[in-house]
Amino acid sequence: QVQLQESGPGLVEPSETLSLTCTVSGDSVSSDTSYWSWIRQPPGRGLEWIGYIFHTGSSNYNASLSSRVTISLDTSKNQFSLTLSAVTAADTAVYFCARDRMGATFDHWGQGTLVTVSS
Amino acid sequence: QSALAQPASVSGSPGQSITISCAGSSSDLGVYDYVSWYQQHPGKAPKLMIYRVGDRPSGVSTRFSGSKSGNTASLTISGLQPEDEADYYCTSYTSSSAFYVFGTGTKVTVL
């Protein structure tokens, strides 16, 4: 059974860097049939895709965030991570990690973690 | 890249059928069959209900079905049940810089 679990600080100060990790079980981040995505949802609002990484290390980001986003893999720990720099209050959201079987097919999700940007 | 357009709310009585629309453009729904639908209950992660326009993952009720015509995709829920009350989001691959775009979301209310 595939499971994903987000972890990281729940509070980040403005202009600092947000860092989250997603730990995967039941599948391998080294799989060549899965892409590993981050998706966020501001409180009371809709979903926004942030980006994904493939086992080769290749990644793709939403252009609206690409200048501030990096997604990386740690195959030894079966994890992938998100960093988002220069955060503002607009980055306050629940952040989800998800497995993408390509074509916007997010078939497994983490429970989500709320990150608040505030001083 | 603008979000795909969905009605803010749709309601129906138990047993009825409802349809949620998802309007896109020639950059997304009009050219790609990578359309998925997600159900989200309050405080929970989204759940995949439909992928590749009309395919259902294992375990998803056959009461849920998807289709697409031109730039618009649709999710139909037949035999509406109280547990279907949730938010629903469509998503698509897009050739724009966003890569994947989500819909604005639809709140389904079971009367």
A106 and B36 within 8 Å at the Cβ level: the answer is yes
Residue B24 pLDDT more than 80? yes
pLDDT band, very low/low/confident/very high, at B16 (cuts 50, 70, 90):
very high
Q: If you average pLDDT over residues A2-27, what whole number do you get?
A: 97
Cα–Cα separations (whole angstroms), residue A1 to A10, A16, A25, B27, B56: 27, 36, 8, 35, 18
Provide the CA B98 distance to its chain's centre, in angstroms.
Answer: 19
What pLDDT sits at residue B83?
A: 97
Our CA-based measurement puts residue A112 at a distance from the nearest CA of chain B, in whole angstroms, of: 7
What pLDDT sits at residue B38?
A: 98
pLDDT averaged over chain A?
96
A46 and B103 within 8 Å at the Cβ level: the answer is yes
What pLDDT sits at residue A7?
A: 97
For chain A, the first-to-last Cα distance in angstroms comes to 39
More confident residue, A21 or B28: A21
What pLDDT sits at residue B1?
A: 62
Most distant pair of Cα atoms in chain B: their distance: 41
A40-84 pLDDT tens trace: 999 999 999 999 999 999 999 999 999 999 999 999 999 999 999
| B3, B92, B98 member nearest A63 (Cβ) | B98
Which of A15, A78, A14, A87 minimizes the C-alpha distance to A50?
A87
Q: If you average pLDDT over residues A27-45, what whole number do you get?
A: 95
B100 and A62 within 8 Å at the Cβ level: the answer is yes
Is residue A98 within 8 A of residue B102, CB to CB? The reply is no
| A 35-54 → B contacts, CB under 8 A | 46-49, 51
A110 and B35 within 8 Å at the Cβ level: the answer is no
